[in-house]
Chains A and B, each alone.
Chain A
Amino acid sequence: MQIVGQTTQLEAWVASRTRKFHINEILIIEDRDHRHPKAEVIETRTFNRYIPLASEQSNLVDTSVLEGLRSVGFDIEDEEIHLGKLRLIEELPTPIRVGAPARVPSFAEVEDLLIKRKPHEGLTLGVIQGSREIAKDMPESLQNVALLFDKENGVGEQGGVPFVFDYRSMDQYPHIGIFGGSGSGKSFGLRVLLEELMLKQVPAVVFDPHFELTFDQEFPNLPEDFRHSFKKRFVTLDAGEDIGIEFSELIADDIVSLLRASSGSITDAMETAIKALHKKSDSFLTYSTRMANLAEALDNEKEIREQSRDEYLNPNDRERVKLLNDLLVKYKDKVGGFSGTLRSVLRRLTRLEMEGVFTSAGTKKVEEAFAKRQLVVIRGSMYFLNVFAFYVVRKLYRKRRDYRDSIQKGRPVEEKFPPFVIITDEAHNFAPKGDVPAPAKGVLKEIAQEGRKYGVFLVFATQRPALLDDTITAQLSTKLVFRTVRSVDIAVIKEETDITAEEAARLPYLSSGTAFLSSAITGRTTAVRIRVSKTTSPHFKNPFEELEEGFAEQDEKVWEAVLPSLPIDASNLNAYLTEIGRKVGRLLSFDELEKTLEDFVDQGRLLKVSTPFGARYNKA
């Protein structure tokens, strides 16, 4: 290996006749004047100068020619020349010496560069690309900590130096972005990151719109010593069931953003009305009742005004009339006098209430889990999560902030509250760019800018970095960039990371699970193959296989339950429902039982025969 051609203080080409260069591998250039600098291979080429391209003047060489030369001992196909474009890890004052030999370093020579933390001190996310040869004399503690996976060969060896993310430096360089197109490996990578956070017992809350983040199913075919159970390290909570919004904690602006998030848009009139009617510590009941009463009062304004002057009204009515009249006096001008507006607001509020948004569950379960240093997975539809995220995030963030502030100011501490990480996929929905409103955007921006001080960190994954709020994008100190095809997204990535032009050009072609990690913590961009996860999502299966298997299983259960009851009287299926239902473990409807029995007939497992007493199902 030797430096050839022209060099600069930053870049050079290295050539070899015998050894192919690996993209991203690190080499040492033996240039004594520059104290043997290290460089990374950023582009590779191989060519055979005797087999020129067909388009050049001397076309492809005839096979007889190759065979003739091979017969006298020369294999032209061995005459390849391998080239690698190098970029120095650190710039030099003068260009690299042309002709300097280059070599693969020993592990010890690049250890400081590649390993910032030992696996037990950081998050072991994957394997550094191009480090296979260097890894040969790596100490045992770094081996088999990040096995790799690919679809053809399954779970395989690590084959390289592990990439260990120094998460503790996040207090200086906070927040992580995970970008990549569909199928590029974001979810897979996120899962690995979460596993590592759980291993370090960092409290975290994940919003999971895809219902894919559970950790009790083990990844198939892992070797024994790579397996790990996360069952005790996480809880899943369903938004609207295990978590609710305590209405009394909301301020009027919150209600506006909630309704906006849940119903798309609301009018200015509605917003005015919502704000005008809200009082501090209103419960859902006090607030919605007030609104309903005012609507009623507006509809019957004239009568109420008259009746309020009527001294002979019975006391019950009088009280009611007074109430409504007071509302009119107080609010009519503020809400614009149109009851339809109020009723629109009410409809929206009631819908949320019925969906279980306003329960007293609050974030208690999240806090309990945090106390146990667990990972909390909050599941729900995107729409629902958007509604909840703002509340949950704000509440947790405030608690943490209050706790830190009290310590800082030497006030007595009432409630201990740990630092934590907030994680979400589809992050552009929670914090969209521009003036697209989203309830959680405000608090997320605040955390992006200030969270560091309080030990609150974001991990934002998205397919569309171009749609994510700019302020937040700029605050993500570490970015994990998977395959990206869209040019607008590549443009954002180029701008927001120190990814080079060569690396950006590779983005559309990265294989699923390979990413560039650009981080203020590592100081340079590292190409990383994300390790195999130790757990797998419940729908890791091919959906169509899953469909087949799922239904086959179900049919089998019913078949087992039907067998003892045969023959079955077709005209009296109702009589069998309870019995069979008990055996299957769920209630069957008449229709379902009939359909299933007919399916069995189609499959040839049952025979449907006519008897003098009507049709009957017999065993075939």
Chain B
Amino acid sequence: MSTGIFTLADKLQGLNRNLHDQRRERVASSKLRAALETSVGEFRQAKRLSGPETEALFGGRALVGVDGSVSQVGGNYPYTVHLFKSLAKSTLPARNGATSVEQVELLSPLLADNLREIKNFLEERRHEIRVTEGLDDEVLVNDLAEQQAYFMLADKRMVEMELKAAMEAIERFSPYLVLMDGGFSRLKGKGGELWEEFEDLALTMGTIVVGVIEEVGSFRLQSRLANHEDVLNGFLHRHDREILFGTLNQGEWLKTSLDRPIKNEFYTVFTRLSDLPQAGACDFLRGQADAVDDVIDFLYTITPSKSRGIPLWLDVVDAEVRLTKKQIDLIVKSNVDVENIESFLRPQRDRRDF
């Protein structure tokens, strides 16, 4: 064995020491909590609802979970296909007996229609798409730009399908609560008009919609805490996830102030729904912020304490929406001829045989 590995081990130990030193500079957790209470909101302890309490809360209406999945088949752009599936699953059946809404789509630069769409998209978003400067080869630059446009389009497609499934579910099931997998920023950012429509529909139908975030990715707390001396000491990057890690107790949530919300468009609270120490978050529509106490109690109720901190219903939807590698292999192989797979859709790495 080469000795390089020992050198790496040494370097890792150095890193580890560094991190320890950093953490040592942190203030006591009580001090951090006090600062969060003054500048962000109050800590609340969620309670597990009893059966009758849950029933009273829902008033006979359903719970819907929404999730999407994307699978990629093939190799590098443009020899690739994206398969989309979105699912909104209800706990109660609709009048026709159905319990879910499902959408599927396919996107690939190998299809002429799609390719045209990609090119148009590229034109529209030219300003957003930046390709590494200094490249002289114009063809290559264009290819890279096209590829980026394609991936953006794929993201957009996924969001649209999730929103569409959610909207259809609201119409069909008229649920009390809709849980979206992931925060609202992505939905709004990529959904555009469709998001506005979704928001409007939820508000008119009186359906509460919540974006459930497994692990916070925002960067908002540090500015709020900036005027508290030293509480941010020892945090490397001061991301919200770093600040909240281990700060909340199990079942505890940080009820951010409604007057000074930490995101402008939505109402967001931080949660710890399972025994894992990292914090999650929930996005609410501003107009539905009063429901937050009840909803968090309910989400806590349906989150297994030994889990990744996601309400089980979203896990159920996630399991159902996902296409496994096996399934994908199977449908591709049984619907696309071998010669087509070999010449267009075979990723390079599959051909290596070690």
Contacts and interface: CB of A to CB of B under 8 A. Distances in A.
Interface string A1-26: 00001100000000000000000000
A484 B305 CA distance: 46
Given A50-B319, A71-B58, A65 B304 contact: yes
B312 A50 contact: yes
Interface string B320-354: 00000010001000100000000000000000000
B255 interface: no
A98 B334 contact: yes
Contacts, number: 72
A58 B63 contact: no
Interface string A49-74: 11000000011011011011111111
A26 to B, nearest CB: 27
B62 A72 contact: yes
Contact of A73 (B62, B307, B312, B315): B62
Nearest to B177: A72
A507 to B, nearest CB: 33
Contact of B319 (A49, A71, A73): A49
B63 A73 contact: yes
Given A49-B319, A50-B315, A72 B306 contact: no
Contacts of B51: 67-68, 70-71
Nearest to A64: B48
Interface string A418-447: 000000000000000000000000000000
Nearest to B274: A58
A6 B326 CA distance: 10
B301 A65 contact: yes
Nearest to A50: B316
Contacts of A49: 319
Interface in B43-75: 48-52, 54-55, 58, 62-63
- In this complex, the interface size class of chain A, counting residues with CB under 8 Å from chain B, is 20 to 34
B304 A58 contact: yes
A65 B319 CA distance: 17
B301 A64 contact: yes
Interface residues of B, number: 31
Interface string A26-62: 0000000000000000000000011000000011011
A98 B330 contact: yes
A182 to B, nearest CB: 46
Chain A residues touching B, majority SS: loop
A59 B304 contact: yes
Given A58-B307, A62-B305, A72 B312 contact: no
Contacts of B303: 65
A80 to B, nearest CB: 13
Contacts of A74: 63, 91-92, 313
A64 B62 CA distance: 18
Contacts of B92: 72-74
Given A68-B302, A98-B334, A61 B312 contact: yes
A69 B304 contact: no
Contacts of B312: 50, 61, 65, 69, 76
Interface string A250-261: 000000000000
B184 interface: no
B269 to A, nearest CB: 19
B308 A69 contact: no
Given A50-B315, A61-B312, A72 B91 contact: yes
B298 interface: yes
Contacts of B63: 69, 72-74
Contacts of A68: 48-49, 51, 54, 298, 301-302
B54 A72 contact: yes
B306 A58 contact: yes
Contacts of A73: 62-63, 90-92
A62 B62 contact: no
Contacts of B176: 72
Nearest to B308: A58
Nearest to B55: A71
Interface string A572-594: 00000000000000000000000
Given A73-B91, A73-B92, A65 B316 contact: no
Nearest to B52: A71
A68 B305 CA distance: 13
Contacts of B90: 73
A71 B54 CA distance: 6
A163 B107 CA distance: 57
A59 B306 CA distance: 6
Given A50-B315, A50-B316, A65 B306 contact: no
A180 to B, nearest CB: 41
Given A58-B315, A65-B304, A73-B63, 17 more contacts: A50-B312, A50-B315, A50-B316, A59-B304, A59-B306, A61-B304, A62-B305, A64-B48, A65-B302, A68-B48, A68-B301, A71-B49, A71-B55, A71-B58, A72-B63, A72-B91, A72-B92
29 contacts: A5-B326, A49-B319, A50-B319, A58-B304, A58-B306, A58-B315, A59-B306, A59-B307, A61-B304, A62-B304, A62-B305, A64-B301, A64-B302, A65-B301, A65-B312, A67-B51, A68-B51, A69-B63, A69-B302, A69-B313, A72-B58, A72-B91, A72-B176, A74-B63, A76-B312, A76-B316, A79-B316, A98-B330, A98-B334
4 A-B pairs with the lowest CB-CB distances in the bound complex, closest first: A71-B54, A74-B91, A73-B92, A68-B301
